[in-house]
Amino acid sequence: MASEILRREQTDKSTTQPQLEQGMHPSFLNVLIQKKSIKEKTAGIKHRIGVYSAKGGVGKTTVAVNLAYALSEMGLSVGLLDADIDCPNVTFFMGINTVIPQDYPLKPVVKDGIKVMSTALFIEDKEKPIMWRGPMKGKMLREFFENTSWGDLDYIIIDLPPGTSDTPLSLMQLLDLDGILLVTTPQSIAAKNAIRSGYMAKRMNIHLFGVVETMSGNSPAGALHVSKVLNTDLLGTIKYDEKFNECSDIGKVPFLTEKHIHDAFEDIAKKLSSLGKKTSS
Ligand SMILES: Nc1ncnc2c1ncn2[C@@H]1O[C@H](COP(=O)(O)OP(=O)(O)OP(=O)(O)O)[C@@H](O)[C@H]1O
Ligand SMILES: [Mg+2]
């Protein structure tokens, strides 16, 4: 897989020579060229939403997957991109074991009406580690937008990896995101990292749709603090529930089987779909 991506990169470079304008740094020009190309290739996607926190393990993938199901149930066409390139989990959560060929354009796997793309789909042994440095992850991310046949979609939900560099940074730079949904938990370390993540989005001029608290207890005080500091909304709280772990262990999506989880995500999806694209404040 890695060698094929590099070969395509070489071919692309030889056919699209960047034209430097006076005073423009070459790397900045490259970003503009890539951004334009991604915009053209994903013209059929109406809304692009990132699910993000710089902190690991707070429930980003859980929120991304269940939210995708909730939007799909509303009659919307939905894609789900696992942007956690080297540690992909979406396919585990959805019980997808398929291996797809690396034929271009890449074709997402459709499960329960949702179009899914993930690095995990190219790997037979799903527990095999993917050990790539940043530039390689960046190239794979671009393949997912420039060379993947998403077709027409109302929404693409993007499950981001933790951290504030590499993939999250490339995604915020290159993709014309409608906005980001921040995920946090009741822990103050999660809140601090959600705030850090929100500041990153603001610095990249990306709108914040709001905050979702997962693994919640009785009061979402942490998430309220995050939303206050970032001047955004608390979009929903998802209670701590062992059902999430039981379901993810066997690749079942709790939105489909647990009424209270279904209703919580339905509420978030409705709020999200009623919010238009705004610029960051
Ligand atoms: N509301 C909840 N109640 C109980 N467990 C939950 C809840 N939400 C998520 N979990 C569990 O927390 C763990 C981490 O969730 P998840 O993988 O979605 O986090 P993540 O932020 O995507 O992690 P990573 O940063 O590694 O990508 C999983 O085992 C998941 O089942
Ligand atoms: Mg994850």
pLDDT in tens, 91-139: 999 999 999 998 999 999 999 999 999 999 999 998 999 999 999 999 9
Residue 223's pLDDT is what? 98
| Predicted structure pTM score | 0.93
Q: Quick one: which atom of ligand 1 is closest to the CA of 84?
A: 27
pLDDT of residue 278: 46
Decide: 193 in ligand 1 pocket, CB within 6 A: no
Residue 184 Cβ inside 6 Å of ligand 1? The answer reads: no
- Kindly state the average pLDDT of the residues 183-188: 98
b/e burial code for range 61-87 (CB count within 10 A of at least 16 → b): bbbbbbbbbbbbbeebbbbbbbbbbbe
The pLDDT, as a whole number, for residue 8 is 67
Tell me what percent of the residues of the chain surpass a pLDDT of 90: 85
At 211 the three-state DSSP class reads strand
pLDDT at 187 over 60: yes
Q: Is residue 26 scored above 70 in pLDDT? A: no
Is the Cβ atom of 149 under 6 angstroms away from ligand 1?
no
C-alpha span between 174 and 188 (Å, rounded): 31
The answer, yes or no, to whether residue 49 has pLDDT greater than 80, is: yes
- Give which of 148, 150, 155, 158 is closest to 78, Cα–Cα: 155
Reply yes or no on whether the pLDDT at 15 is more than 60.
no
Does the Cβ of 56 fall within 6 Å of ligand 1?
yes
For residue 216, the ligand 1 atom closest to its alpha carbon is 1
Per-residue model confidence (pLDDT) at position 9: 61
Distance separating alpha carbons of residues 104 and 39, to the nearest angstrom = 18
Q: What is the pLDDT of residue 276?
A: 62
Q: Regarding the domain with residue range 2-12+25-274, which homologous superfamily does it belong to in the CATH classification? A: P-loop containing nucleotide triphosphate hydrolases (3.40.50.300)
Asked whether 198 lines ligand 1 (CB < 6 A), one says no
- Predicted confidence at residue 30, as pLDDT, reads 83
Give the Å distance between the CA of 197 and the centre of ligand 1.
17
Ligand 2 (ion): which residues have CB within 5 A? 60-61, 89
- The number of the ligand 1 atom at minimal distance from the alpha carbon of 248 is 31
Query: Whose atoms come closest to the Cα of 118: which ligand?
Result: 2
* pLDDT for residue 167 is more than 60: yes
The closest residue, in CA terms, to atom 8 on ligand 1 is 59
Q: What percent of the chain is modeled with pLDDT above 70?
A: 89
Q: What's the pLDDT at 28?
A: 76
Ligand 1, atom 16, residue with closest C-alpha? 59
Q: Which of 66-70, 89-93, 204-208, 273-277 has the lowest mean pLDDT?
A: 273-277
Atom of ligand 1 nearest to the CA of 65: 18
The mean predicted confidence, pLDDT, of the chain is 92
Cα gap 259→279, rounded to integer Å: 35
Nearest to 81 by CA among 173, 137, 157, 1: 157
The H or E element containing residue 245 is helix 242-249
Domain positions in the chain are 2-12+25-274
Average pLDDT value for residue range 157-172: 96
Q: What per-residue confidence (pLDDT) applies to 16?
A: 47
